[in-house]
Amino acid sequence: MMIGTHGNNMEDIMRDFKSFTSTSLKVAIKENIQESRKEWLIWMMERSGKMNSNNNGFQFWDQDNHPIELFDNEIMQQKLDYIHNNPVEAGFVEEAEDWLWSSAKDYSGGKGLLEIKYIE
Cα gap 110→107, rounded to integer Å: 7
Maximum Cα–Cα distance for the chain, whole Å?
A: 45
pTM of the model: 0.57
Cα gap 79→86, rounded to integer Å: 11
pLDDT tens profile 43-94: 888 888 888 777 767 888 877 777 777 888 899 899 999 999 999 999 999 9
- Rounded to 10°, the helix 38-50/10-31 angle is 140
Model confidence band, residue 7 (pLDDT cutoffs 50, 70, 90): low
pLDDT tens profile 9-37: 777 888 888 888 888 888 888 887 676 77
